A and B are shown apart, each in its own frame.
Chain A
Amino acid sequence: MNYRDMSMAELLALAPPGWGGVLLDGLWLSLQVAGGGYLLGLLIGMAGAAGKLSGGPVTRDLLACYTTVIRAVPELVLILLLYFAVPEALNQLLVMVGQGEVEIGPFAAGIAVIALVQGAYATEVMRGAIRAIPDGQIEAAYSLGMSAAKTFRRITLPAMLPGALPGLSNLWLIATKDTALLAVVGFTELTLAARQAAGATKHHLLFLCAAGVLYLLVSLISNLVFKALEHRATRGMSHG
């Protein structure tokens, strides 16, 4: 293939020999991993915040360990741990109890890493947002005879959203950018796809910049969406 004489449009074309399609496939994979990890991370964060606020002393200490360790160890190291060490340990355990081996692919490992990291940060974001709700509102819900689950769904969740959304939108941006790290274990998300296209065509600057533009678009669009969500969550409050 003679990439040297191709124009920029031909290089970025969706169909091969252009590499645009490969980039978009990478972007789609990145978004899937980021989305899956983010949603799982929100669940972990919700449970973590609940545990930190109303759990017993042991739960609270364990959660403190979790959030501290995850936030101090580089994501790149966590990815290696989850991709190489955890499956190995899991399989040794499975073999010990006489089960077959399982294989954890880069996709699942990627979602797991992002969920774990996001969960640690989301725990702190949500804990802060829930703490900021005046106690009286939750007490009022209980005094009206609402169950704990209903109180959470109808009072705590909507009341904490305005406080939590800025932090959560930041976390989503971190999630999309963290997917790039999966390139080191050979997962062809956007960054690695761009690198492969760059390596094959020798047009390094073009493809890495194109990937950058795609990431930038994702973050700009996400910003707009979260702004709208924030606006909706804070309706009835003064916007100043």
Chain B
Amino acid sequence: MSSLSLAVRDSSTMVRRNLLHVRRYPSLTLNLLLTPIVLLLLFVYVFGEVMSAGIGGADRSAYLAYLLPGLLLMTIGSTVVGTAVSVSMDMTEGIIARFRTMAIHRGSVLIGHVIGSVLQSVASVVLVGTVAVAIGFRSANATALEWLAAFGLVALVALALTWIAVGMGMVSPNAEAASNNALPLIVLPLISSAFVPLDAMPGWFRPIAEYQPFTPAIETLRGLLLGTEIGHNGPLAVAWCLVLAALGHLWSKSLFDRDPG
């Protein structure tokens, strides 16, 4: 078997294993989904009027439209925390040692986690998006191409954050540590343009929000779905994702290639 077909075959086996874990133990995934959905309902139905007024909108549907792109990317951040936890739990299991002594594609263990997590992230985003549509979100006449690009962006962000989360999971000795280490992935969206526009933030804080990876991705997604100005945010978002994915991949791989204690 060629090394590429070996890689594909073993990786797909590992993806099936990870999806089986998710199907058997859906509670972790559902818990992580709860946060974005509760935030969505809270910010639309409880704070919606005030927030809408804050961004100069007519009613709460204006804020729903503003909020959703950021919340969708926050959903990814929240889902990959689960990935960090399951990677750290997996690495303490004896089965990983077994995989290491089998003639399988060496990268397949991590690739299985990554692909499984990206699929899970996309499914979670679709679910949160469906809730948003159900409570009144409508895109501003986005074309099929824009929808496709939006999907692509979601998948790319998921890929980047997943590789980082896998590395975080691998350096964490247990599930609690993994969940703590992955906290920045939840906190970063809170200090981005997800909830309030950059120009509503204090001046000293604005650069922090502006130059972190979430903001360009949020602005790009907002542009694709709502027709706002994308500008330099598009290329910036893609660049951030590629750099994070590459760094996360190299980091995780070097951690995996170390001799286990």
Query: A and B from one assembly?
Result: no
Interface set of A (CB-CB < 8 Å, partner B): none
Interface set of B (CB-CB < 8 Å, partner A): none
